[in-house]
Amino acid sequence: AFLGTSATNAVDTDSANTMSAYITGHKKAVNAIGVYADRTPASLDDPRVETFAEAVRRRTRKSIGIVATAEVEDATPAAVVAHT
């Protein structure tokens, strides 16, 4: 399989963009975690982005927990569950 983790608005990204691309299966803009980059005047017209954890919870109705060796606010673990 092939997965490109470049952003929609940059070739070089940070760990938040890369992890968000892995978890959601969609490319993101720089500084956008778990959401589509909005390029229109209406801020609520973009489709909802579902993370892997949210998909598992929706399908199995199980609770999701996070275990991280870094700060949970750090970019990589935050990209697994956050939408910013």
State the average pLDDT over residues 12-21: 79
pLDDT, tens only, 24-49: 877 778 877 777 777 777 767 777 78
pTM score of the predicted model: 0.65
Domain of 23 in residue numbering reads as 15-81
pLDDT value of residue 60: 93
9 occurs within a structural domain: no
Given a cut of 80, is residue 50 above it in pLDDT? Answer: yes
Apex 20 CA angle, 30 and 74, nearest 5: 80
5 occurs within a structural domain: no
pLDDT, tens only, 53-80: 888 888 999 888 778 787 767 777 777 7
CA end-to-end distance (rounded Å), the chain: 28
Element (H, E) at 77: helix 75-81
22 occurs within a structural domain: yes
